[in-house]
Every structure is written in structure tokens, then in C-alpha cells.
Structure 1
Amino acid sequence: MTTRPPSVKPAGTTAALVDCDSLDAALDVFAALSVARERGEFYADELVPAAQTVLVLGGDGRDPRGLAAKLPRLLGASDAAARADHAGPEVSIPVHYSGPDLAEVAALTGMSEEAVVARHTAASYAVAFTGFAPGFAYLSGGDPALAVPRRETPRPRIHPGSVGLAGAFSGVYPRESPGGWQIIGSTSAQMWDTQREQPAVLLAGGRVRFTVAREEAAIAAVRAPRRAPAENLPAAVLRVVDAGLQTLVQDAGRLGAAAMGVGRAGTAIRGAYRAANALVGNAPGTAALELGHGGFAADALATTVLALTGAARPGRITGPFGSRNVAHGAPFRLSAGERLTLSPAERGLRSILALRGGVGGEAFLGSRARDTLAGLGPAPVAVGDEIRPAGAATHAVGAPTGQDPDLPAPGDVTTLRVILGPRDDWFDAEAIARLTDQTWRVAPQSDRVGVRLTGEPLRRDAVHSGVELPSEGVVLGSIQVPPDGQPVLFLADHPLTGGYPVIAVVHDDDIDLAAQLTPGGAVRFTLIADAPRTRTETRQ
């Protein structure tokens, strides 16, 4: 299949990165693993193909050595015919070739505009990988003569349906966004539509052909029926009177949508989320409220049972039956006419407020989670919003769990365990030592996408200085290092793929603690062999 066998690198404790050295090899490996997965010969929660790699999340990805041993057999057993069947039918996209950069592309390639269009429509493209935005597909296999650089100055706004070129790739912008691709045309086809059962037209591993648009009727081939709106909503039980700075509906996230460029997202504090649902008797995976900065308050429109976990918050219940404190880590009753008021967290940042019966609302791709990076799922909770239950709880309320004593308070230094790789070989020994020897500060710009850290920069080695890393899949907990050397620790809403090297990945058991870091806080990293049991210490 390839002249050089793929190599397998650990990506934290839950994934492995298959390095294929070329786009064609990565496409072959992705197709072969997809077929093996369908046959039950290989297991993974998700496969994330990219420019030269395939990220294996969960399943066999948890054992990189075992995956490396079985990989040759998996690749050899997947014949070309099976891989071709996996790709599915070719999608035809009609394009109006009148883009603002068509003349520039013609000048760069030394062709006429008509020749650029002819060559662009003559090729059959493969959906190499997805990323950047939900539904944005990197299309490979075009005419090499159309390989042009990105614009020197990216546009702040590119309209949905814009067809562009960048390097060896073609692509279609699924929604309005900034970008630096050379725009040669546009299509009226909706490449991303959340009202469809399958929102993305283009899936990783698929085939595409561009045609010159002549009639709007030709676009109907890529459309799909819209879902009917939800009816018979249950009665609301809470009305929000203080939404804090970021209260979100969250659940366990979206699995199986990576081929459309959609990451898992979901709650940032998984242990607290599971505990809260168990306390109110909900089934695993039921949606709850994730509270961030600031306080929260809501009036009860009907009697319900709630539970608060994660970062502890002083709270009171007031109303016609008197006043009482809110228990943390235990189910509590909120009667109709009462008000629940929660203050900001004293230690840590994020809390889970679970409602017996779950938080209702329409699911998107099987999840009610808000993905703040992709803009998917329910909008952030606002004042006046009414919270409706999803349905009946499945079992009795749980026993109290109490508070988590291990969350960082102001002035604490939090220690997180890390596993080097998959791109630690882009850094010299001095940079590796600097990662673990210094105390990093949490920047104010941190959010659910990632914790931005400041400290002595991590510099690449001489071989990789100024080298651009082809986009590749990144995992939860990745510590990515941009050119300025200031790391970003990826949290729940991290991008599916990234173009900067990942020097290390936080151990999966420490992800919840990382999500509780507050702006201005301090954090240190320790290699997994030296990991301490107590991970938060108070600065004297």
C-alpha cells in the first residue's frame, strides 16, 4: 500500500496517531481502517483522517503498541474493492465560476480563467478530511496545476457556498467565516444544514466532482428533507432569573460525527456530570446545566429535585416555605414558588446542576450538548429561559457524595500529569524540561475550547523551526504549541484537527481537574512516571 509503513504514536492515554507520511497513504489507511471497523476486526470510537495522519480515538487506540502490531494485517486484509465501496457514490456540486479570486488564480497559474474552470471541473476529488468548521471538507486529487498559495491577507468574512483553492486542496465554505483560500466560485448547495438528518453533504472518504452550474434544479440532488419541529413540549419547571456568564446545556457529547468535521464536545467535567445525574436518578447521558463564571438563579415553576456537583457554590433556597442552604453533592427539593440562588464557585470554576428527568430540548446529532467552538447545540442559557424536563427519571435518587476537596483555590498550584507526544520530537530537551520545570499561568482568554498558558516559551528544535505541520487530529487534553511558544491545553470544545505540534497530552483522569483551572491560576505538569497522588498544593 505504501513504500514506508505507517508508524503509530501515542496521543495521551485514550488515542493513537497513525503517521502515514503522505496524504494518499493517509486516505488509504483511513479507508482500510473504516472497512475493518465495519467488519468488526478493529475498534475505535472515532477515526479522524487528516493531511498525513489518522487519529484513532478509543478502542484499539488505547493500546498504541497493540495497534502497531495488528496494523499491517488490517491494511492488507482490506482490499481495494471494499475501500471503493466504503467511499460511496460521487457527489456532484454545481458551481457558478465568478469568484473574486478567479483572475488572481489564472495569473498565478499562467492560464486563462476558462482554463482554470475547465481543469477544476475535470478532476474527481476525494474528501481527504474534515475540520476547521463543521461540514468543511478538504478535497484532494485536483489538477496539480491549480495548486496556489493562500491569500496573503485572509478575508474577515467569506460567504457560505464559496468555492476555494489552497495549496493542493479545493473546498467549499459551509457557513460564513473568515478565511484565506482563493475564492474562484460559489454554489447554492447547502453544504451544512442542521435541519437535515445528516447535516454535512461531504463526509471523509467520499468522492466529489464540480460542475458548471446552469440550472438551480441541479442543486436539489444534494439536499435532504428537513425534520419536523418538536411538538407537545412538557411544562417548564424552572425560569432563569440569573444566567451567570456562561451557563450551558451539556451532556456526554456527540460520537460518530467526526466524518462531518464535528467533535465530541459535551461536558467539561465528566465525573461531576455523571455524579449529578446519578444523584437525581437520571439515566447516564441525560442533559444537565453546566455553570461557569458567575452565579446562577432560577424560580421553580413546578416542584422538582436537583443536585449540584463539581465546583462548590454557596447557595440558598428562598420562598413561601422559608429559607435554607443548598446541599452540595446531594439531591435536594425545590418546590413551586421557591427561588434557587447560587453564588460563584469558591474553589474551581465549573459546576453541574442536574434536574430530575433531565434538561429537555431538541437533540442535534444525538446530543443536546452546546459546542461553543462549532456553534452547535442549544444557545447559552439566558435570563427568562424556561427549563423543561426531558422525561421521567429512570431510578431513585442517589446517596450524597459530598464535595470534591481537590479543586484549586486562588493561590494554589495545580499539578497535571502528562504523557509526551505525539509531536514531542519537534522539541529539544530544553523545551521538554521547560514544560515540566516551570509554573505556568492561566491566561484570561481561557475557555471551554482550551486553557491558554503563559510562561517561558517552548521553542522547537532547529530541524522543525519554521516548519509547518500538516493538519492532524488532536485529542482532549492535548497541549498544543503555537509559533509563539505559549501552550494551549485543549478542553471539551477543542477543534477536531490542528496545525501546531502537540508536545504532550494530559492524562485522561486529570482532564476534569484541568477544566477547573481559573484565569490567573497556576499549573505545573509532571511526566506520568512522576505523577503525585495529590494534585493540588497550596502556595505558602
Structure 2
Amino acid sequence: MRFLPVNLNALLVELADLEQTLALLASLQRAPLPGVQELVPAARTILVRFRPAATSAAELVRQIAGRDISQRAERSSTLVEIPVHYDGEDLAEVAQILGITPEEVVRRHTGSEYTVAFTGFAPGFAYLSGGHPSLNVPRRSTPRTRIPAGAVGLAGSFSGVYPQASPGGWQIIGVTPLAMWDLDRAQPALLQPGYRVRFVDIATQSIADSEIKPTATGQKGPENAACRSAQALAPDQAALRVRATGLLTVFQDLGRQGQAGQGVSESGAMDQSALKVANRLVGNASNAAALETVGGGLQLQSLGETVVAVTGADAPLDLTTADGRRWSLPRHAPVALAHGDTLAVGQPRAGARCYVAVRGGFDVAAVMGSCATDTLAHVGPAPLSVGDMLGVRPASTSAVVGAADLATDDLPTLEQEVVLDVVMGPRTDWFTAEAIARLATQRWQVTPQSNRVGLRLAGELPLDRAISGELPSEGTALGALQVPPSGQPVLFLADHPLTGGYPVIGAVAPYHLDRAGQIPVGAWLRFNPIRPFAELSPSV
């Protein structure tokens, strides 16, 4: 085993092959280590996230290094058959690469039983191992911008099924009408780690399409607009009517933990401290759902009497009464709104995202245990639309309005460079010495293509790799600096994918993640490595 640093609360265990990875995963699941929060297995690695207050990287390395990985992981008794129309646009090309006929590709693909090795990339996406050994083909040199839901593909030695329409670089050989992901199921992901899978050629089997669930996506849309209509409110229930949404306003809480087995990352507020403060100001639990809005433009009209608080970015706040009077409101303070009052959030002077909490909390349904909206995975409530009626729950009689620190000196601005501390690893050694030095010495600008998935950065010179080979997909941490072939890094934020196939040169330290979530487009960054890259030794 190799042990590689990821962050101050995560490490990566690298093993020789998939069989060893699954054996170690089974061992860690049978006898969990204290302090471990989540395990994200991949082709040859396991990402281990832990609570630093409960354990340390050194202790975990010592414990994991002593695990027996000689035993093969037990296979599940669950077998899932996936019917496929083998008419994919890459079928002929795959056959040509392998030097066989398309019919032989189909015969080999249906002639073996697969195992769900791990999940990632998207909710419900499973990496299937154990197929015919000859079915080993490279990803497409140029990924497609859109692959349809239900597409069956090959990449390396893995097979997989796209649960929803998305970009991708796998070689597509067919499509299935079976739903890989369905939020109406108790277990939304059809394929779970360890499950056995067999593909069936619909053309040669007596399977009627009517016998198969008719949707390939299975993805129910985020919270229906009908849930935000006046008719959905209880009699005399207070609400906030959305008069304007700004660039993007979504519900967020502290995220959905423990869903890696479904291929779902945590999501949650980009600035978690600001979310907690907003809730504390109105007397809510710190993890209650609030509104996260980027830039200016959000307008909310109170229907009935409500108490709100706005935290996060330094943005001007205005109140307009029903009869047209207008005045400014304080940030980081509870504000009582009368019936008809409209709260408006202006363009931030510093920072990027504001958080709006309401006393009693928003009447919004949780999805997979959280009200967070994951914009990449399309899990959680839909973004706000003009006209939405956001119901407000009654406040607890024991709720106590809190106070908040008004300091905003560290909010990022366009005028000053933002400095983020970085932990080097896990793939720092995939880059040249010049590139490693350049990460810290060169400044990077946040481009307009940035969003909740990540900040796309542009520097004068790219980060050159010392190792040019393809990296098998592996778990990625919040704050990871992943470097695609362009050499221009992407800083992964709240809605980042669970796994990724490009090397990560370092990761923003956890205590600077809230700051990273407040960086506006156009700002300049510098990275400050807090220690040099070094493998973690079991002897430490």
C-alpha cells in the first residue's frame, strides 16, 4: 500500500489492483476504524475521510497498513439483469479497435458476469468490473458534450451505464431503458457496490419493452413547482414570495453525508459558517435549510409576518414596504418583515454569496436526508423561480435569537489577491518540479465558467505533468485542485463529482473552504502550500 496526503481531514490509500482495493474496503466495512466518516473506493484507491478531533492520519495509516488484504472480497447474492439495445454509436469503432465484429463485441459483453466495483462520477453511475478480458478500450480522445441517459459504455476494463444525460468520454455500445437512478425508490441507485450484473441483448431475448420500466433516467425532477404555489400553503401559513431570483438562488443546508455508496457527494452551503450564523440569528438549528444566492438581485416579499437574517457576502440590503417606503437594512442581524414588505439583496461589494434564513425555517422537503441542491447531480429542491411561494414553518417556542460576529474583513474582493492555504497531494508527483513551484508562485484568475461545482482558474503558464499516462478514476475531496490536460486547474467546490480521472496536485485546507466559496468571478488567487508533498509512512 501507498498512503498519500489529500487534506488535513483525508488521505488516499493506493493499492496494486482492484481486487486488493475491494478486499481492503470489505475489511474497513467489517471492522470500521474510529473517527472515519466516509470511504470512497475507486479502481486502485480508497479515499478515507476522517474527523481530526477523533483520530489522526498517522494513526489511520498505522491501522490500515496492518489490515489483511489477501482474502478476496465476497460477492453479493444480488444479481441485476440489464437489457440493452446494442446500437451504440461507438460499437463499430470498438469492434475495429479490438479486431472483431460488432456481433462478437455484443456476445462478449453479454457473456460475462460483472460486479459493481465502486460508484461515482454521477449519482447511480457504477463502475462494473469482471467482464471479458478482451473488452479493454481507451476512452474517447474527445469527450462528447452530451451522452443520453441509459447509454451503456466501455472505458478501460470497466463497463458502465449513464444514469442521466451528461458529458462523457466512454465508448457507447448501446442503451438500456432500465432506470439506473430513481428518487422514488427507497434506494435510488439501482446498482450498489458488490452487486452482480449481467447484460442481456434485447434483440435476442424474449423481453418486451413494456415489461421494462419505460424511463431510462428515472430521475424525478427537483421539487415540483406545484409545491411552491399558494395552494400548497396551509391556512394562515406565513411565506416568502419570490419576486426576483438573481443569478441563482438555491436551498442549502450542511449537506447530505454518507451517500458515497449511491454515487452522491455532500453538496451543501459553499460558506458553511455563514449558513450557521444566519440560522443562529433567527433562532433556528444551525443545520436548517436557508437560501444561498450568488451575486445580487434576489427579492423576497413577506406574506404574513416573518423574521429573516442575511449573512455571507457584503451586499446592500433594502426593504420596501407595501406602500412604497424604502430604507436600508443591516446585515448579520435579525430583521422583522411585515406583511407586504420586500427584501432586496444588492450586488456584493465583497464576497459572492449571501445566505437568507427565516425564523422557523423554510417548509421544504428533504431529498436523501438533506435540503441541499446539488447542481451537478440534480439532487435536491429546484432552484428558485419568480413567483415561487416559500412556506415558513412555525418557530419553536424554545427558539432563541442569537448574535453574530460582524467582522467581514476576510471576504474576497476583486481588488485584492485571495490567498488560500493548500495541502500538497495526492498526485503532486505527477507534475514537474517547475509546475509544483508555479502553483505557488503564479497567480490564478477565476474565470466566468466557475460555479458551485468548482472554480475554473486561468494562469499565464499551465501546470505541466511529469507523468503523462491516464490516471484511473479515484475519489476527490472538497477543495481538490484537479488539473485537466489543459494544465489550468479546477478548484472543486460543494457540488464536485465524487470521483475524477485527472490528477489532483493539492487541496485547499479545510479552514479556507468557506473563503473559497465566497470568491467572485474575476478575482485573483495565490496558493500557499503549508507543507511539502510527502507520502505518509506506516511507521509514523
In structure 2, the residue matched to 1:20 is 15
Aligned ranges 1:218-229 → 2 under 5 Å: 219=212
2:117 matches 1:128: yes
Distance 1:122 1:390, change over 3 A: farther
Whether the aligned pair in 1 keeps the contact of 2:270 and 2:494 (CA below 8 Å) is yes
| Residue 432 (structure 1) aligned with residue 436 (structure 2) | yes
Alignment of 1:145-224 (within 5 A): 145-152=134-141, 154-213=143-202, 214-216=206-208, 219=212
Deviation (angstroms), 1:152: 4.9
Q: Which residue of 2 aligns with 1:359?
A: 362
Counting aligned pairs with the same residue, the percent is 48
The letter of the residue matching 2:74 is A
CA distance in 1, matches of 2:500, 2:520: 24
TM-score (norm: length of structure 1) = 0.88
Partner of 1:386: 389
Deviation at 1:211, TM superposition (A): 2.6
What letter matches 1:50 in structure 2?
A: A
Asked if 1 retains the 8 angstrom alpha-carbon contact of 2:351 and 2:411, the reply is: yes
Determine if the alignment matches structure 1 residue 340 to structure 2 residue 340: no
Distance 1:336 1:358 in 2: 17
Q: CA deviation at 1:384?
A: 1.1
Per the TM alignment, residue 157 of structure 1 is displaced from its structure 2 partner at its CA by 3.6
Counterparts of 1:179 and 1:479, CA distance in 2: 20
1:51 paired to 2:27: no
Counterpart residue number, 1:11? 6
> CA–CA distance in 2 between the matches of 1:54 and 1:360?
38
Q: CA contact under 8 A between 1:331 and 1:400: conserved in structure 2?
A: no
1:409 aligns with 2:413: yes
Deviates more, 1:322-331 or 1:102-111: 102-111
Residue in 1 that maps onto 2:538: none
Distance of 1:185 and 1:487 partners within structure 2: 33
Amino acid at match of 2:364: G
Give yes or no for the alignment of 1:29 onto 2:24: yes
Structure 1 unaligned blocks of 5 or more: 1-5, 531-540
- The one-letter amino acid of 1:84's match is E
Tell me by how many angstroms 1:154 deviates. 4.3
Change (3 A) 1:504 1:62: farther
Is 1:372 the counterpart of 2:375 in the alignment? yes
Q: SS in structure 2 opposite 1:11?
A: strand
Shift of 1:47: 1.3
Aligned length: 516
Q: For residues 312 and 177 of structure 1, what CA distance do their matches in structure 2 show?
A: 35
Q: Structure 1 residues 112 and 341, CA, compared in 2 at 3 Å: closer, same or farther?
A: closer
Deviation at 1:514, TM superposition (A): 1.0
| Match status 1:99 vs 2:88 | yes
- For structure 1, which segment, 144-153 or 341-350, has the greater mean C-alpha deviation from structure 2 after superposition? 144-153
Which of 457, 471, 479 pairs up with 2:461? 457
In the alignment, the residues of structure 2 paired with residue 270 and residue 291 of structure 1 have an alpha-carbon distance, to the nearest angstrom, of 13
Summarize the alignment of residues 224-239 of structure 1 with structure 2, pairs less than 5 Å apart.
233-234=233-234, 235-239=237-241
Deviation at 1:79, TM superposition (A): 6.0
Q: TM-score, normalised by structure 2?
A: 0.88
CA spacing shift, 1:179–1:486, aligned 2, 3 Å: closer
Q: Does 124-133 or 106-115 show the bigger shift?
A: 106-115
TM-aligned CA deviation for residue 172 of structure 1: 1.2
CA distance in 1, matches of 2:233, 2:196: 41
- 1:401 deviates by 2.9
Give the deviation of 1:240 after TM superposition: 1.1
Structure 1 stretch 347-356 or stretch 179-188: which is displaced more?
Answer: 179-188
CA deviation after TM superposition for structure 1 residue 509, in Å: 0.6
Partner of 2:328: 325
Q: Distance in 1 between matches of 2:414 and 2:14?
A: 41
Q: How does 1:456-475 map to 2 (within 5 A)?
A: 456-462=460-466, 464=467, 466-475=468-477
Residues 271 and 52 of structure 1, relative CA distance in 2, 3 Å threshold: same
Report the Cα offset of residue 411 of structure 1. Answer: 0.9
Task: Report which stretch shifted further, 241-250 or 432-441.
Answer: 432-441
Give, in whole Å, the separation in 2 of the partners of 1:400 and 1:98: 60
Could you say which residue in structure 2 is the equivalent of 1:311? 313
Q: CA RMSD in A?
A: 2.9
